[in-house]
């Protein structure tokens, strides 16, 4: 646990008692603060009370008298589309609003570091797509290299649940826009921006607000190194804002669209090869085509970002390349479930928006595509160019018929996952890939994209197990 510093003897309100909220309450108490908690769910309140935390209804008059800070869980809106009523009450009372990420950055460094040979480092990863894979890959590379590494944030453990870092330790954080938007303290040593595509637009009042939330990690944090994907206008703009000029190697530009040139520091992938250039000269090259855990251009972008972050810490290219080959990938992200009769089954349930689904489609050929679910804003036109390898789509979800009508490929309305998998198996031929890449949220039929992916995987495994 990371005890919260700077709050000793102070009363701190905690709103939302899920994983991050309870973790924050524990860390506050460990640091000598007095947490008072609230969640609209009575079961969540009971769980907090069972741990000895006081629960106080934060909407009542005077609830924020004597409160030094309000700590809010990431799923609770603080500004758009409308502020949560407790957040609004705190702001009216002049109480600062924060989250567990802000508390972590405020508390991570301790006086014990004065005795360390090497100060611990933090690598923070944000962006629209690829955050989880990039974060997990960085963590894997560090462990492969024998470095003490912990993975936390939007993946792995809660940030305040990790252990205090030893000398030379590295913490790898995946941070969503919900987390970066509110944290009062953001001070990573290396910050990574993978890419930007429309997502969570209601929460940020549009794409500009969404980008602004991501940008805070760099503008507020002032990292020593910034790894920036520059294939979108926002990334190119951010790299330009952070750089003092063409030779400023504090910014490492990343691309999978083109070769990057110039006197700075660049990492790019073209035709399956990762290249590192510094001062206009090639420093390293890695063949990514044989890396089974990182298929497709979108994973090559993840590889470039992870490579650049690890190079910023001084790891050698050969060490990073070896770690790539032992990386197994993450569940629900271009995850191969198995193969039968020459047909490969791939679970990319994490492809919850059009951009991520398009990248999954571009990674394979001869696709039997299972898609559909709770459609997000912006429509499905972005899938058209990526659908050339799709032999047929099998559409699930409560609005499957409407979803299918928007696709530019042959589509069959299946509604349920079981029906979609059965129909895809019946149609598939040797050399085909049955790919779950929904391009939609899961909440019309499942509690999470993980549950959706697990359903697909179980159906596929049952098919493979048959004689």
Question: What CATH number has the domain bearing residue 60?
Answer: 3.40.50.720
Domain termination residue (choose one: 291, 325, 359): 325
Q: Is residue 385 part of a domain?
A: yes
Q: Do 368 and 408 sit in the same domain of this protein? A: yes
Is 130 labeled as ligand-binding? Answer: yes
pLDDT in tens, the chain (467 residues): 999 999 999 999 999 999 899 999 999 999 999 999 999 999 999 999 999 999 999 999 999 999 999 999 998 999 999 999 999 999 999 999 999 999 999 999 999 999 999 999 999 999 998 899 999 999 999 999 999 999 999 887 899 999 999 999 999 999 999 999 999 999 999 999 999 987 778 899 999 999 999 999 999 878 999 999 999 999 999 999 999 988 899 999 999 999 998 899 999 999 999 999 999 999 999 999 989 889 888 899 999 999 999 999 999 999 999 999 999 888 898 888 999 999 999 999 999 989 889 989 998 999 999 999 999 877 898 899 999 999 999 999 999 999 999 999 999 999 999 999 999 999 999 999 999 999 999 989 999 999 999 999 999 999 999 96
Q: pLDDT value at position 202? A: 86
Are 257 and 363 in a shared domain?
no
Alpha-helical (H) ranges within 199-339 are 201-204, 207-219, 233-242, 296-312, 317-325
pTM: 0.86
Q: In what order do the strands lie in the sheet with 34-38?
A: 54-55, 34-38, 11-15, 67-72, 97-98
How many domains are there within the chain?
A: 3
Domain end call among 272, 301, 325: 325
Burial of 330 (0-12, 13-18, 19+ CB in 10 A): middle
Residue 260 resides in a domain: yes
Supply 124's token pair. Answer: 């923070």
Considering the domain boundaries, does residue 104 fall inside one? no
CA distance 423 to 402: 19
The verdict on 273 and 382 lying in the same domain is no
Rounded Cα–Cα distance for residues 385 and 367 (Å) = 14
On whether the CB atoms of residues 306 and 134 are closer than 8 A, the answer is yes
pLDDT for 467 equals 67
* Same-domain status, 295 and 349: no
Domain assignment present for 1: no
Let me know: does 151 contact 139? Beta carbons within 8 Å.
Answer: yes
Residue 41, annotated as binding a ligand: no
pLDDT at 199: 76
Indicate the DSSP class of residue 157. Answer: B
131 is annotated as contributing to ligand binding: yes
Q: Which residues constitute the domain of residue 65?
A: 11-98
- Tell me whether residue 164 is in a domain: yes
* Residue 127 marked ligand-binding: yes
User: What is the length of the chain?
Assistant: 467
E-assigned strands of 288-410?
A: 335-340, 343-347, 367-371, 390-396
Residues 152 and 87 in one domain: no
Which residues on neighbouring strands pair with residue 97, listed in sequence order?
70
Give the CATH number for residue 134: 3.40.1190.10
Q: How far apart are CA 313 and CA 164, in angstroms?
A: 20
Residue 2, domain member (yes or no):
no
Q: Are residues 343 and 389 in the same domain?
A: yes
């Amino acid at each position: 646990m990371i005890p919260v510093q700077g709050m000793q003897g102070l009363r701190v309100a905690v709103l939302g008692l899920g994983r991050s909220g309870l973790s924050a309450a524990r860390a506050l108490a460990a640091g000598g603060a007095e947490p008072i908690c609230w969640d609209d769910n009575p079961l969540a309140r009971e769980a907090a009370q069972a741990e000895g935390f006081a629960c106080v209804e934060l909407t009542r008059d005077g609830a924020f008298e004597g409160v030094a800070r309000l700590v809010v869980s990431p799923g609770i809106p603080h500004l758009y589309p409308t502020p949560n009523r407790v957040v609004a009450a705190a702001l009216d009372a002049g109480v600062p609003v924060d989250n567990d990420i802000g508390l972590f950055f405020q508390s991570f460094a301790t006086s014990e570091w004065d005795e360390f040979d090497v100060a611990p480092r933090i690598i923070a990863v944000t962006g629209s797509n690829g955050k989880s894979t990039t974060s997990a890959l960085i963590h894997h590379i560090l462990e492969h290299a024998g470095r003490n590494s912990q993975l936390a944030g939007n993946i792995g453990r809660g940030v305040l649940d990790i252990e205090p870092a030893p000398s030379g330790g590295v913490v790898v954080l995946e941070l969503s826009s919900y987390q970066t938007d509110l944290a009062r303290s953001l001070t990573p040593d290396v910050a990574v921006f993978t890419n930007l595509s429309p997502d969570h637009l209601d929460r940020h009042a549009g794409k500009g607000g969404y980008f602004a939330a991501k940008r805070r990690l760099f503008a507020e944090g002032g990292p020593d190194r910034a790894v920036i994907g520059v294939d979108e206008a926002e990334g190119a703009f951010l790299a330009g804002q952070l750089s003092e000029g063409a030779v400023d190697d504090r910014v490492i530009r990343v691309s999978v669209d083109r070769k990057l040139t110039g006197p700075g520091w660049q990492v790019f992938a073209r035709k399956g090869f990762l290249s590192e250039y510094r001062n206009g000269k090639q420093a390293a090259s890695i063949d990514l085509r044989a890396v089974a855990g990182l298929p497709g251009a979108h994973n090559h972008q993840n590889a470039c970002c992870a490579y650049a972050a690890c190079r910023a810490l001084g790891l050698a290219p050969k060490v990073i390349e070896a770690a790539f080959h032992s990386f197994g990938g993450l569940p629900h992200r271009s995850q191969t479930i198995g193969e039968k009769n020459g047909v490969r089954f791939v679970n990319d349930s994490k492809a919850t928006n059009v951009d991520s689904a398009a990248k999954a489609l571009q990674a394979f050929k001869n696709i039997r595509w299972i898609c559909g679910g709770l459609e997000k804003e912006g429509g499905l036109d972005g899938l058209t160019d990526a659908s050339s390898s799709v032999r047929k789509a099998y559409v699930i979800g409560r609005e499957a018929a409407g979803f299918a009508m928007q696709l530019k490929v042959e589509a069959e309305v299946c509604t349920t996952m079981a029906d979609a998998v059965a129909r895809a198996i019946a149609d598939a031929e040797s050399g085909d890939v049955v790919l779950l890449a929904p391009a939609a949220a899961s909440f019309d039929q499942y509690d999470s994209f993980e549950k959706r992916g697990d359903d697909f995987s179980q159906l596929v495994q049952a098919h493979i197990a048959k004689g």
